[in-house]
Amino acid sequence: MSELRVISVKIPEEVYKELLLRVPEGERSNFVRDAIMEKLQKTPKPDKILELEKRLEKLEAEFSQIRKYLADLELLTYERGKTNPHTFCIDELDHKIVDYLIHYKGATTPEIAEYTKT
């Protein structure tokens, strides 16, 4: 153990009397020290709490992003006859891209660029 420091505490009279009854003289200092150390071990360090909060916020943000992607995917996924993918098109270029994707069941970016001449 490192260098010891002296502290003083104020406790209720009933607690003091209980300490006198239960803990023999000469052992009280060790008893109080052990009680403080035990309590500190159970209490998380502030920097650890801050780190956990940041990690939790990051996870929540990532989870939110995943939910958004899943919702977008659900909107863009279609079954023939149930959803018209052209409803998501804004202009003629979008219509060309959707037509190409449906016809070839997917495409790479260079293929789409070549097809749309962009």
pLDDT tens, residue by residue, 80-116: 556 777 888 899 999 999 999 888 888 999 999 999 9
- Residue 20 counted as domain residue: no
Residue 105 in any domain: the answer is yes
- Taking the C-alpha atoms of residue 95 and residue 89, their distance in angstroms, rounded to an integer, is 6
Residue with tokens 């956990």: 52
Please state the domain count of the chain.
1
User: Is 59 among the domain residues?
Assistant: no
- The domain in which residue 99 lies consists of 83-118
Any domain includes 23: no
- Look at the pTM and tell me if it is higher than 0.75: no
